[in-house]
Structure 1
């Protein structure tokens, strides 16, 4: 059996361009400056983002206020602004029709993942959904992708990951999985050079084996 694992933000939905719109407010609220390694920050879990700002001496609020501010931004983005990436539903539907097991692996909080899944009627496509809250370490650690493989009952070498972030690609490769790097939107500034295949549209996805 072989499976496909999708990232959510910047891969299936275009939320990251809306993050750019709220980023100035968000960083003014929680940080002394924008973190130097923004690529690493974008794909990380909330806890890892907090630690990242602490490491750079930029966090100016409590972790609790950081979470509140992030939730304010996320509510606007996931409930009101984001849309499916062009080709996302067609790709999911084609794989689903072939009986390919699919999982969603996102650093985003589970409640926002659920909002997206319900808002765009994606639930039927995914056998499992795993958030950054469900694993000990967020991307670029491989935990979330290895958890998907275990849940699906598929060996890591038989999984394909579709990702748009530097940390996501690093996590997929650390898990021993084939990775498709999607350069789109904010992700165009992400380094996905470690990916096995790099695309600019979801319609360009090609798999290393037949399903």
Structure 2
């Protein structure tokens, strides 16, 4: 039984044994909530990021990294440690997600995970930390955490995407060849990381990433519904 009506996607899915999901922007369209939470904790320092700032400086990166850059660029004298700033952002973000989870889940993704769970091994590879990850896929979120055999979060790797370390670690933990893995990503740096690990990649851009260069992806698709279409964003 095929999930996708598009034959090329169905054939690609038939070539792999493991499907690896990114989370932010891929499972949930949550970038606006991350953006809101970040500006919330920066407001006492009279800093307000624009959407363009978010896309260029923060999208797809670990919070500690982009906060460090923002603090440095704006010569901010923090009243708290950098870790505390990140923690406050994460707690506020968690509150936002719990209130809006049904509104931010991307079309078809939960149904696709349910379909795959009975047929493939699943993994999650995200730059998010534990609080953010549990907010989205834990019991108070989508309730799908137990569907993933392996979950690797951003604080478990030394080198963030586009470095392939996180995807290589997934393959190692699952004792599977990278060539037997399909990665689903929403950002160009995520695609680069997966390709660097020797895996197949399908890009599913969102409103923030639709103008990125996805030329290294095997396919770029509209969504993860059975009716997903292959698109060319160039």
Query: What range is the shorter-chain TM-score in?
Result: 0.7 to 0.9
Q: Which runs of 5+ in 1 are unaligned?
A: 207-211
Q: CA deviation at 1:59?
A: 5.8
The alignment yields a C-alpha RMSD, in angstroms, of 2.7
> Where do residues 20-99 of structure 1 align in structure 2 (5 Å cutoff)?
20-22=35-37, 24-29=39-44, 34=49, 38-39=55-56, 41-53=58-70, 57-58=73-74, 60=76, 61=78, 62-83=81-102, 84-98=105-119
Contact 2:200 2:218 in 1 (8 A): yes
Work out the CA distance in 1 between the residues paired with 2:88 and 2:146: 32
Work out the CA distance in 2 between the residues paired with 1:120 and 1:155: 29
Q: CA deviation at 1:120?
A: 1.3
Contact 1:6 1:104 in 2 (8 A): yes
Is 1:154 equivalent to 2:176 in the alignment?
Answer: yes
Q: Which runs of 5+ in 2 are unaligned?
A: 1-15
Structure whose CA Rg is larger: 2
Greater alpha carbon shift after TM alignment, 137-146 vs 37-46: 37-46
| Structure 1 residue aligned with 2:193 | 171
What is the TM-score when the length of structure 1 is the normalising length? 0.82
What is the TM-score when the length of structure 2 is the normalising length? 0.75
Greater alpha carbon shift after TM alignment, 21-30 vs 156-165: 21-30
Q: Rate the CA distance shift 1:50–1:188 in 2: closer, same or farther, 3 A.
A: same
Contact 1:163 1:182 in 2 (8 A): yes
Q: CA deviation at 1:69?
A: 4.0
Work out the CA distance in 1 between the residues paired with 2:158 and 2:20: 19
Indicate which of 111, 115, 128 corresponds to 2:135.
115
Q: CA deviation at 1:192?
A: 2.8
Q: Rate the CA distance shift 1:53–1:171 in 2: closer, same or farther, 3 A.
A: farther
Q: How many residues align?
A: 204
Greater alpha carbon shift after TM alignment, 182-191 vs 107-116: 182-191
